[in-house]
């Protein structure tokens, strides 16, 4: 009897030992939260100042810079599993809000942040950014005055330059034509006297959009004041790229300058249903019409992102930079078209033409776009500007929010036959109509939250497929998101099989782009 008890005890000890070796040890993280960080209480069991992680091996820490020193704001287990390769808490700067973040993979590693001299310098650099902007403006003004002086001297000496270059093309002229050799397009200038402005459609930060006529056709006319010439020039450059004609991009008719010279015009084909935001507020959409909106939107973005070579013309990839339901138009046939390219980036990969990484810093990148549609990496100011794909990944995140915005208005998705919910913007139900960058960073970046997906979607035949498209497109990791073309391909599949249970379709038609 005693021998049998001893054998049973030995077997139990062996099983306990094997079990402890086969299951990974739970990560222990330092725990400290403010009122805004209480969401991290669900990330693991808390005992005093230590938290035992449930779902991750990563500890996270958020530190706020106060009087030049970091003070812990949130210390906890990370809510979801992420890549955490650092063994110590190394400071990563949120350039826009003077907050530091660290993610590390050893016990209690988040309790002591590595506060290097570089981190101090970057924090001080963020606080002095606007001072630098003022100095830059002053230097530019001085440069302009000097340039005008040199121009006067050059005009007075024009005979010398004329004789020197009479029968030969100058090096500067050659270089300019070489840089612009990818353009094979007729001039887009039109006569401003042929454009008649009738009534204001909407007003933006930099321009006013009018309903007008041109050559007896109704058009949309975007009017930029003289003070916003740079925005006009940036948008004109995008529209004038070769091969930009596509059904998912608003048709560009030309540009003009008012005779008095006080404003610049971009003339576009009129989208009769106005912006996507207005359309969704004023109209009910069923499954078929919502799919058409989503598919045309995704195909337009995929074309914008494409790198095309046809004959002697080249359209480089373009990142939109400001996708929102106000910057998407709806045509009379119910299809979406992209517009408003004032924040767009031409992603040239060859030397000679400007690249976005040469002209944009993380400090002013946050000024791009519409706040609630910004991706986590844009909100944090952590975009790798030397990697052009990151700007496209940010577009795909915004695209996912737009798809959600459309599907939330779909009458066929209403619960129990109820009327579809009123139109709402992404994060409006959680954060209100007016969002701040701090509240978005807390919810989107710190908490890893996304817009609410109704539970009753699970009962829809296409519900699981739609949810996968959204979650695969607004992933926290930019590299893990789908491409715009993959989103379009998945939607095409739903279009082909929308009369059969979509749960039986394979959602892995496309995989994320690395």
State the average pLDDT over residues 260-277.
93
Q: pLDDT value at position 259? A: 80
At residue 498, does pLDDT exceed 60?
Answer: no
> What tens digit of pLDDT does each residue of 436-490 get?
999 999 999 999 999 999 988 888 888 899 999 999 999 999 999 999 999 999 9
* Phi-psi category of residue 188: left, alpha or beta, with phi > 0 → left and psi -120 to 50 → alpha: alpha
| Alpha-carbon gap, residue 113 to 492, rounded angstroms | 48
The predicted pLDDT at position 80 comes to: 72
**Rounded Cα–Cα distance for residues 400 and 473 (Å):** 6
Average pLDDT on 175-192 reads: 50
The confidence band for 125, taking pLDDT boundaries of 50, 70 and 90, is: low
Question: Which residues are paired to 267 by β-bridges?
Answer: 221, 254
Residue 504 CA to residue 492 CA, distance in Å, equals: 15
Q: pTM of the predicted model, to two decimals?
A: 0.67
Q: In terms of pLDDT, which residue wins out, 93 or 326?
A: 326
CA angle 173, 175, 176 (to 5 degrees): 65
Least confident of 9-13, 38-42, 162-166: 162-166
* Predicted pLDDT of residue 71: 85
Instruction: Answer whether residue 220 shows pLDDT above 50.
Output: yes
Q: What are phi and psi of 285, to 5 degrees?
A: -120, 140
Rounded average pLDDT over 486-499:
80
* The pLDDT of residue 502: 42
> pLDDT tens digits for 69-101?
888 888 999 877 777 888 999 887 654 456 778
pLDDT tens digits along 240-258: 999 999 999 999 999 999 8
- Other CB atoms within 10 A of residue 131 CB: 9
C-alpha pair distances (Å), 405 with each of 18, 402, 427, 446, 488: 50, 5, 10, 23, 17
**pLDDT value for 274:** 95
CB atoms within 10 A of CB 303: 22
Q: Give the residue from 115, 106, 112 showing the smallest Cα distance to 87.
A: 106
Cα-flanking dihedrals φ and ψ of residue 459, to 5°? Answer: -85, -10
Higher pLDDT, 165 or 262: 262
What is the enclosing helix (H) or strand (E) of 278?
Answer: helix 276-282
Tell me the Cα Rg of the chain: 28
Mean of pLDDT values over 334-343: 95
3-state secondary structure of 136: helix
Is a pLDDT exceeding 50 seen at residue 164?
no
Q: Where are the alpha helices (DSSP H) in 157-246?
A: 158-164, 171-179, 229-239
* Mean pLDDT, rounded, of the chain: 79
Strand partners, 93: 100
Domains contained in the chain, CATH given: 28-104 (2.10.60), 192-269 (3.30.200.20), 274-348+367-497 (1.10.510.10)
Q: Which residue has the higher pLDDT, 98 or 58?
A: 58
How far is it, in rounded angstroms, from Cα 165 to Cα 159?
A: 10
């Amino acid at each position: 009897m005693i021998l049998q008890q001893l054998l049973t005890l030995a077997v139990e000890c062996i099983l306990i030992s094997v079990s402890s070796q086969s299951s990974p040890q739970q990560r222990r993280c330092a725990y400290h939260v403010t009122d805004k960080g209480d969401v991290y209480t669900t990330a693991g069991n808390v005992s005093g100042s230590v938290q035992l992680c449930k779902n991750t091996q990563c500890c996270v820490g958020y530190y706020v810079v106060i009087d030049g020193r970091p003070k812990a704001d949130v210390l906890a287990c990370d809510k979801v599993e992420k890549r955490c390769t650092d063994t110590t808490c190394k400071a990563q700067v949120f350039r826009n809000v003077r907050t530091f973040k660290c993610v590390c993979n050893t016990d209690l590693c988040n309790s002591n942040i590595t506060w290097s001299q570089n981190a101090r310098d970057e924090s001080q650099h963020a606080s002095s950014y606007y001072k630098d902007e003022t100095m830059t403006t002053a230097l530019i003004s001085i440069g302009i005055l000097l340039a005008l002086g040199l121009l006067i001297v050059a005009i007075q000496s024009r005979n010398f330059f004329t004789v020197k270059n009479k029968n030969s093309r100058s090096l500067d002229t050659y270089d300019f034509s070489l840089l612009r050799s990818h353009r094979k397009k007729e001039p887009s200038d039109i006569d401003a006297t042929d454009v008649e402005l009738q009534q204001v459609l909407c007003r933006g930060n930099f321009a006013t959009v009018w309903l007008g006529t041109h050559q007896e056709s109704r058009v949309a006319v975007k009017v930029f004041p003289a003070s916003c010439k740079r925005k006009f020039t940036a948008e004109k450059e995008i529209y004038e790229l070769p091969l930009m004609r596509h059904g998912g991009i608003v048709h560009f008719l030309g540009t003009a300058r008012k005779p008095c010279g006080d404003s610049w015009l971009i003339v576009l084909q009129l989208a009769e249903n106005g912006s996507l935001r207005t359309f969704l507020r004023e109209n009910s959409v069923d499954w078929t019409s919502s799919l058409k909106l989503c598919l045309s939107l995704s195909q337009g973005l995929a074309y914008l992102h494409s790198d095309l070579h046809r004959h002697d013309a080249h359209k480089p990839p373009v990142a939109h930079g400001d996708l929102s339901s106000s910057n998407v138009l709806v045509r009379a046939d119910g299809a979406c078209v992209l517009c408003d390219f004032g924040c767009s980036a031409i992603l040239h990969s060859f030397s000679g033409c400007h690249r976005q990484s040469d002209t944009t810093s993380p400090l002013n990148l946050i000024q791009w776009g519409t706040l609630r549609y910004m991706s986590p990496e844009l909100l944090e100011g952590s975009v790798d500007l030397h990697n052009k794909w990151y700007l496209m990944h940010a577009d795909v995140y915004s695209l996912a929010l737009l798809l959600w915005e459309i599907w939330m208005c779909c009458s066929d998705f209403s619960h129990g036959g109820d009327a579809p919910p009123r139109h709402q913007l992404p994060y409006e139900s959680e954060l209100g109509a007016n969002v701040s960058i701090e509240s978005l960073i807390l919810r989107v970046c710190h908490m890893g939250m996304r817009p609410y997906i109704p539970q009753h979607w699970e009962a829809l035949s296409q519900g699981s497929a739609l949810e996968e498209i959204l979650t695969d497109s607004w992933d926290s990791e930019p590299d893990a998101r789908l491409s715009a073309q993959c989103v379009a391909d998945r939607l095409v599949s739903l279009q082909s099989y929308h009369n059969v249970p979509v749960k039986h379709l394979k959602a892995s038609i496309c995989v994320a782009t690395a």
